[in-house]
Amino acid sequence: MAQDGLSVGVKAVIGREEIGALIAALSARGWRVLGPRVRDGAIIYDDVAGLDDLPAGWTDTQEAGRYRIERRTDAALFGYAVGPHSWKRFLHPPVERLWQARREGDKVTIIAEKNDEKFAFLGVRACELAAIMVQDRVFMEGPYPDTAYRKRRENTFLIAVNCGEAGGTCFCVSMKTGPKAQAGFDLALTELIEGERHEFLVEVGSEAGGAVLADLPRRPAAPEDIAAAEAVTARTANAMGRTLETEGLKELLQGNPEHPRWDDVAQRCLACANCTMVCPTCFCTTIADVSALDGTAERVRKWDSCFSLDFSYIHGGSVRKETKSRYRQWMTHKLAHWIDQFGTSGCVGCGRCITWCPVGIDITEEAASIRADSGKCQEGGNGRA
């Protein structure tokens, strides 16, 4: 046990009002608290200053190409699935200035970017925790770690919320990433609502989490509290909107680069890149160098997408000129080649790519169709075209 906190693994129960106290305790420690808010017809992630900022009594309904929020019959604070935002936008920003240079006479000064803000993420779902751990492998492992990402990651406090509501496009059970957070959090909450009861079971996942929880009014969790929390996630697991058969999926996709299904999906795909923009694990970027008449220049990194025609452009043209090859690259990389690169699938089953596709293309349906009729493969290969 930490000297001034609770031990890792300790479970306690706090009231609904203590969520406000939790936000205040984090702010007092210097963290910028980010959590769910209702804005522009969606539940998004932004700064939260107190209990009133959270989406109390709101839920979402999701299907392929469809997202709506609506009122619940209770005052749940976290009674929704996931929205268009992921935590990636804070750890791996959509637009990030890498450095700035200023010229004064014959002297050029390089100005490094400061990266010392501390984040506290409130409401991280199990699938999103898995996504963060996937990006940790991408950006922090290997011989060339991304130092800016690592600094932000080290300064982040994670408060998971175990899911009490499955979305219509969720399939985290298939990917073994949810709906219950197993590791990687500082604190994990399970919202317990029954009759007049509105409490949260809290589990300590780190010494930092134990220190924060120690400052809040709480009571020890009784066996019936733990059982109630387990019932919440069990109910959610049984209500998944989608499933994805992962057994042999890597070999299936890599062995079917010319399956007719790729032509079929290409007729529907707009190559708009929505799926990659909302995905919590996609990490592709491009670099832009910008100069100004005042003698300054800067290098900016921006999100990019394998659906962009320019993304694979080399001398002579784009490597993937057709939508078919770009969709195949995305899906096969996500579910197959990613395993070769990073030892894990690039998909966590959040369902965002299905919900936010304008034409409702469903990655689980595409995989199932290729599996159901893989004999139509016109020629073998490894799918890396």
For 171-199, what is each residue's pLDDT tens digit? 999 999 999 999 999 999 999 999 899 99
Residue 218 near residue 13, CB atoms below 8 Å: yes
| Confidence tier at 114 by pLDDT (50, 70, 90) | confident
Buried b (16+ CB within 10 A) or exposed e, 340-362: eebebbbbbbbbbbbbbbeeebb
Is the pLDDT reported for residue 238 higher than 60? yes
Is the pLDDT reported for residue 34 higher than 70? yes
Note the pTM of the prediction, 2 decimals. 0.92
Is the pLDDT reported for residue 212 higher than 50? yes
Q: What is the per-residue pLDDT across 59-81, written as a single tens digit (0 to 9) for each?
A: 999 999 999 999 999 999 999 99
Cα gap 367→347, rounded to integer Å: 13
Alpha-helix residue ranges (DSSP H) falling in the chain: 18-28, 88-91, 126-140, 147-154, 172-175, 207-213, 223-237, 249-254, 260-268, 274-278, 323-332, 338-342, 352-355, 363-372
Residue 352 near residue 64, CB atoms below 8 Å: no
- 60 phi and psi angles, rounded to 5 deg: -130, 150
- For residue 1, the model assigns a pLDDT of 41
Q: What is the DSSP letter of 221?
A: P
- For residue 315, the model assigns a pLDDT of 83
- 330 phi and psi angles, rounded to 5 deg: -60, -55
Q: What is the DSSP letter of 226?
A: H
Across 331-343, average pLDDT: 95
3-state secondary structure of 225: helix
| Confidence tier at 105 by pLDDT (50, 70, 90) | confident
